Structure 1
Amino acid sequence: MLIQTVIAAARDVFSPALRRILWKSIGLTMALLALVWVGLTRLIDVFLNNHSLSESYPFLDTLAIFLAGFGLFVGLFYLLPAVSAIVAGYFLDDVAEVVEREHYSADAPGRPLPFGKAIFYGLRFGALSLAVNLVALLLLFVPGINIGAFFAANAYLLSREYFELAAGRFWAPEDVQRLRLEHRGTVLAAGAVLAGLVLVPVLNLITPIFGAAMMVHLHKKLTRDPSKRISQRPQDRASIEAR
């Protein structure tokens, strides 16, 4: 199931129907990263200007500038999942509508999340992702733990965020959580795919669109197959019908 979902999402990402959204997503991701870069470089410049070592040890200023630049690069790498979360919240409904129309036209379409709610979810997961990745960043110099911690943390966070955004178009929040927990292994494996994608330079820029498309497919497969469908209680069915 997961392999089929990944292949379907990969095809969707570069399809004509999603190409415009993909470029918008890449543009927004790069713009947010650029804003972070500018802000951090300004802070570093202020710090270095106020703590210049050039008078006594000229070479230390050069070394500090080099280390600061390297630190910025590493920092942006660890910030990418948080930025991805924000971008995904912004474009999720656009991607979901295309995927549902192209592949599941016989089904009732999902209900778009209110714009404010979608952004709130993106910011919430972005803040959580930022906090977790800052901890992973502190483990950068601990051999055998750094990349592993980064991968494991983001596999969980990205699986949770993207799946809840996709499933939230059809289910009440409590049902979305129950669905995710009932299929935690499959959902986490999908998150691992996204965490692996984040590690690949350039390709990691497509994470928001690819993740959204993949989770739409995964949610559909989990709920269409009777053997994998969420166990619905009477009140669950009533809440879904009410929506």
Structure 2
Amino acid sequence: MINLKNKRMIGAAVSTLLLAGSLGGTVFAAQKMDVVKKDVLMTEKVATNNSIEKTINENEGNTASVTEQQAVDITQKALKTIFDVEVKDGGYTLETEYFDQSKNNASYKGRSIWSVYFTKVQSDRGPFDIKSAFIDAKTGEILSMSSQNSTDAKATQVLSQEAAKSMVTDFVQAKELTKGTAIKDIQVNTKNAKKVIVVEVNLENGKGITVLINSTTNKIMAWQNRIGE
């Protein structure tokens, strides 16, 4: 379960992701990232006295076949592979939440989801380091992932659109996020470039990947599989 004491810092950390909702045509936040809003804003309404496993067992019609531990293991491995972050022995606090498919009418509609957070927070207003992922609770597929560290060095220059496109192309190919599918085109949205650059990678099979670049650090901070479009 998400620790209520860390809720405020998690909310601050994901707020940059939610900014994408104001960018025209960005499905990443507008339609799907409201699961994160539920994570942050509705934590008080979750039955914190029940374990995740008990919640799953008592959920009528639940389709989860991935356990909480499996979701954690998937996240740990992917963080190492994709963001080169080792969280297993890094002093992080593990927090998880489960969302049954019946509650996801807008976010990954029809899917049950595990959200997994690894947090390292000194205080409400101090440095923070938060890693997170949304895992399909039926298939184990990684739906989205983010890595944010407030102590990352600031960039010395503004990232151009061409540089952003090149960075994201290298990223999705090197990390095999395209799963062998050819890239059709890449669109860069800098409407809110003071905080985040949104890069849409459209694949030849009709699917896509949305990548967010932190404009302060010029580092990739999050990516998401665009599903069912």
**Superposed pair shares fold, TM > 0.5:** no
In the superposition, the TM-score normalised over structure 2's length comes to 0.28
Greater share of residues in strand? 2
Larger radius of gyration: 1
- Higher relative CO (CA 8 A, sep ≥ 6), structure 1 or 2? 1
Greater share of residues in helix? 1
